[in-house]
Structure 1
C-alpha cells in the first residue's frame, strides 16, 4: 500500500471531459475494477462491449457493430448519451482511433498465472472439457495479453496497471485521472482445477516458450509501472513514450510528460555514457490523431549512425532518468 504519498482528487465524474476506455483482459482483476467503476461513475455511465451476442454488451455497441452507424456517429452518440467509461474484452485497436489513446487503460498479470486462472474459469463456468495442455497450446491463448493490447499500441495507452500490485495500480490510476474508483474484490474463488504452484517444470518451460513475446512485453510494462510508482512517491512526473523504430541509422520515437505541455528532454546512453540529447518536439500526424499530446509535436530522432554496437543503447528522460521502452527490441538493434 502506498496511500501515504497520494492525494486522491475529489473530482466528480461529471467534471471529466473525456471517457476512460478499459481494455478488460480476462482474469486480470477486471471484474473487480469494473464493479468499482460502476460504483463511482454509476451504471448508466458505463458502456460495455463483450461481443455482439453477449447480454452484457450495450445496445449502442450492438448498433454500431451491426453497421447501422459509422464510427463518427457512434462516437457522437456515445458522448450524447453521457457515457464516461467503456469496458469489454476487445482489442485496443478497435477503439484507439476513435477515442484518445491516452484515455485507454488496462491491467496485466503474470502470463502463466493468468492462463491458469482463465483455464480454471473456463472449466468451472463454461464447461470446458479439454486438458490444460490443450488449452494453453491453443493459438487464441498464446500471447493473449499482448494481442489484446497490441504490440505497436501498448506504450500509447494512458495507463497500464498490474494485478500483482492492484491497490497501488488503482491509486496511481485514480491520481492520474482525478477520480476515485474504490477497491472492490469480485470474482474470486479458491476452487481451482489447476494451480500455478502445481505445474511441472515441463509445463512451465513450454508456457514460457510459447508466451515469450508476452513475457517480454509484461516485463517491459512492469518496468514502466515501477517507474511510475517511484516517480509518484517522489512527486516527479512520469513520461509516456517509446523508441519505436530504427530507420537508416536514426532511432525514432515519441515522448510526452504527463501533467504538462513542455517537450520532454531526452538523452541517449551508450554503455551508460550520454552520447546524444534532444527534445521530443518533432511533428507526427499519427501522434496528433491519437491525441498523445502537444497536437502531435512529441516525436524525436537520434542519429546513431556512428555507433557500431547498439546492444547497450538506452533512451532516458533527462529530468528523472526514467528509461523509455524500445519497442523495436534490442535484438533488432544489435
Structure 2
C-alpha cells in the first residue's frame, strides 16, 4: 500500500476518471492539486504558498509546507521532475494514450470548449501539442514510475492500480468528447494517421517503449533486490517506545518492506516509506523516502502480548538480513 501517491495527469488520457477514483478511494491522505498557478483546480493553499509563503515550488518545499502523517495524494498537470526529488519513484502514477488519439482528442477539446477555429492539420503541426507527453516527462524516465496504465486497457489497469495503492478504485469515464463525423473519419483513417505519426514521433517513441516493455523494465530493475549486500539501514529505540530508522538498497530504489519480530514471533510488517529530510541531505536516499516508525507497544497489544519482550529484531522482509542496531533492547 502506497503512503504517498503522485498522479501525473496527462491531458486527454482518461485522467479525470483516474483522479476521481483516487480521491474517492485514497482520500484519507492529504489531497493537493497542482494544475498551475492560474487554474481554479489548484489547491488554494498550494497556490498561495507558491507566491506568498516562500515556497520554492519544488517537492522538498511542498513536503515542508504540506507534510502530513497520513501521507499525501498529489494530483495535477505538472512536469515529473518538479516533484521527483522529494517523492519515491514508486509513488508516481500516470496513464498514457496513443499519441495520435490523444492529440486528436485534445484538438476536439479546444474546438468544443473554446470555439477554436484552427484546422486539425495546423493544430497537429504545433510543437507544443505534438510533444506534450514527452515534455511532461523531461529529465525523468517514466519506466521508473510505480505504475503506468493505458487508456485502451483502462478497466484492467484501474484494477491493477487498486492493488498497487491498496484501495479499491472505481471510476466512470469522465470528460469524454463527442467527435463530429468528419473528425471521426480522420481519426480512423490509416493514411491520415500515418501522416500524423511523424509529428508525434517523440511522444510515440515514449508511448511504444512503455506500452511494450513497462512490465519487463520494472521486473528487471526490481530483480536487483536479490543482491543482499546492497541493503543499508539502521534501527533504534526512540522515546515513547517506538522503533525508528531507515532502510535502503544501494543498487535499486525501492520502498522496502520490513518485518518486526519480538517474543519469538512476527509482530508486524512495515514499509520504509516515511520522508526524512536528513536522509536526502546526507545522500542516504535520493528522495529522502526510506524511514520507518513503529509504535511497538501498541502493536504488541494488538497482537495479544500485553508484556514487552526483552528485545525486538527488524529484518528485511523475506530475508534473514537484520538492520544494524537490531536486535533492539526494549527493557
TM range (shorter): 0.5 to 0.7
C-alpha distance in structure 2 between counterparts of 1:167 and 1:199, whole Å: 23
Query: For residue 99 of structure 2, what is the aligned residue in structure 1?
Result: 111
Query: For residue 206 of structure 2, what is the aligned residue in structure 1?
Result: 217
- Write the mapping of 1:2-81 to structure 2, written as runs, cut at 5 A: 18-42=3-27, 45-66=30-51, 68-71=53-56, 72-80=60-68
TM-score scaled to structure 2, two decimals?
0.62
- Write the mapping of 1:71-220 to structure 2, written as runs, cut at 5 A: 71=56, 72-80=60-68, 84-150=72-138, 152-192=140-180, 194-195=183-184, 197-198=186-187, 203-220=192-209
Shift of 1:157: 1.6
Q: 1:201-246: per-residue Cα shift (whole Å, max 9, x none)?
A: 6642332112212212111101234559xxxxxxxx934479xxxx
Shift of 1:115: 0.5
C-alpha distance in structure 2 between counterparts of 1:84 and 1:98, whole Å: 12
Shift of 1:36: 1.1
Query: For residue 238 of structure 1, what is the aligned residue in structure 2?
Result: 219
C-alpha distance in structure 2 between counterparts of 1:256 and 1:113, whole Å: 33
Q: Report the structure number with the largest CA radius of gyration.
A: 2
Query: For residue 244 of structure 2, what is the aligned residue in structure 1?
Result: none
Matched position secondary structure for 2:84:
coil
Shift of 1:172: 1.6
Distance of aligned partners of 1:81 and 1:65 in 2 relative to their CA distance in 1, 3 Å threshold: farther
C-alpha distance in structure 1 between counterparts of 2:119 and 2:82, whole Å: 32
Shift of 1:83: 6.1
Matched position secondary structure for 2:21:
helix
Distance of aligned partners of 1:44 and 1:105 in 2 relative to their CA distance in 1, 3 Å threshold: closer
- Matched positions, count: 239
CA contact (8 A) 2:35 2:41 kept: yes
Gaps of 5+ in 1: 1-10, 229-236, 243-253, 262-284, 295-334
CA contact (8 A) 1:161 1:225 kept: no
Are 1:288 and 2:276 matched, yes or no?
no
Shift of 1:165: 0.8
Calculate the aligned-residue CA RMSD, in Å: 3.5
